[in-house]
Amino acid sequence: MPVIPIVDRKDQKIIHLIRPEVQALKQYHVPPSRGLIKLDAMENPYSWPAYLRGEWLEEMQNVTLNRYPDPESTELKARLRQTFGIPAGMDLLLGNGSDELIQIINLSLRGRDSKVMVPEPSFSMYRMIAAYVGLPYVGVPLNPDFSLDLPAMLAAIEQHQPSVIYLASPNNPTGNLFADGDIEQILRASRGLVVVDEAYTAFSGSSFMNRLGEFSNLLVMRTLSKMGLAGLRLGYLVGPTNWLCEFDKLRLPYNINTLTQATAEFVLRFEDEFEEQIGQINRDRAWLAESIRRLKGTEVFPSDANFVLFRVGKGQADRIHIALQKKGVLIKNMNGVHELLQDCLRVTVGKPSENVAFLSALTSAL
Ligand SMILES: Cc1ncc(COP(=O)(O)O)c(C=O)c1O
């Protein structure tokens, strides 16, 4: 009798026990960045001023870590309401990053007939999280200028009746805001939920937060990651209580840890510091976009976020991406991710010295 190696038997078990869509997935890849100028992940490049760090450390001395966190994040929610002008009468649900909120929403949807719809290209986790929870996913291509293809979206809504549509505005990786009028028409046409993902709202100033009362199927999702607190992992969802109550049942207890609650509650008192950093990033974005545009053979797409998407010469993106890494600069290669992103690269706005280093590396790599 042939001896079956243990590893083969294990593989058979994986094939039988793990959902096929999970077996087909690839792990979300985070490239190593040690020693590189990191301009790949839309992080705010600035840390806090020394006085703020001092006060924060002082405050952290009183935080108790032997007890579980406040399951309702009561003080933090009050601070978020005050800082971000959450409309009275609207509820608030917190997630371990907005990724977790997307997962909670998708998990709550009824059965395998519930479809997730996203205009594409957009944030890659929308597709991945639909697969995690076993929901069919429908991507509708944007126009070549990355605006919403409204007739195509309306036709796809009519055909697929999605249970949820995710609209990232400003969109990642394209950087543009979608037209308010287009979003309104999608809200009116959809019988399912429409989540307006405002991860980059701090850089655009535009928001659907104050429109929440107008549409019963509108939810607004945000994150603190891009404004400067990526390490805390805190996202928030705003919408009518009847919806958020259902989602809240799927939130794991204590999903927002004590250090995140205490730190976010503390640091959001210093909103002005973040506003100053965001103002600087927006000014530098304009400089960066214009500087890339001046380089021969590049096309720069307008951005309302803290990053810039640009196109290089045909077939050059992969080579340039590697050349930049060799010169110590990590950006994101979007070539091959979607057909509308051919030859495209995405760079996050860094500190002025980092932007200059990137530009000089790009100039010599082109
Ligand atoms: C549009 C969009 N939504 C959500 C997120 C996830 O943010 P978080 O760090 O809160 O999980 C990102 C991150 O890149 C994003 O681009």
Ligand 1 lined by 223 (C-beta under 6 Å): yes
Tell me whether residue 261 is exposed, middle or buried, using C-beta atoms within 10 angstroms of its C-beta: 0 to 12, 13 to 18, 19 or more: buried
Which atom of ligand 1 is nearest the CA belonging to 100?
11
Tokens representing 131 are: 């697969």
Written as tens digits, the pLDDT of the chain (366 aa) is 555 555 566 688 889 999 888 888 888 888 889 999 999 999 999 999 999 999 999 999 999 999 999 999 999 999 999 999 999 999 999 999 999 999 999 999 987 789 999 999 999 999 999 999 999 999 999 999 999 999 999 999 999 999 999 999 999 999 999 999 999 999 999 999 999 999 999 999 899 999 999 999 999 999 999 999 999 999 999 999 999 999 999 999 999 999 999 999 999 999 999 999 999 999 999 999 999 999 999 999 999 999 999 999 999 999 999 999 999 999 999 999 999 999 999 999 999 999 999 999 999 999
Cα end-to-end span (Å), the chain: 61
pTM, entire model:
0.95
Q: How close is the Cα of 345 to the center of ligand 1, in Å?
A: 18
Tokens representing 191 are: 């019988």
- Closest CA relative to residue 45, chosen from 349, 333, 356: 349
Ligand 1 lined by 99 (C-beta under 6 Å): yes
Which atom of ligand 1 is nearest the CA belonging to 200?
1
Ligand 1 lined by 40 (C-beta under 6 Å): no
Structural element, H or E, at residue 221 = strand 218-223
Q: How close is the Cα of 95 to the center of ligand 1, in Å?
A: 12
Question: Which three-class secondary structure state does DSSP give residue 101?
Answer: helix
Tokens representing 227 are: 């404004």
**Mind listing the domains of the chain with CATH numbers?**
6-48+272-365 (3.90.1150.10), 66-270 (3.40.640.10)
Round to whole Å and give the CA distance between 173 and 305. 10
Four-CA torsion 202, 292, 124, 239, nearest 10 degrees: 20
Round to whole Å and give the CA distance between 219 and 237. 7
Q: How close is the Cα of 99 to the center of ligand 1, in Å?
A: 6
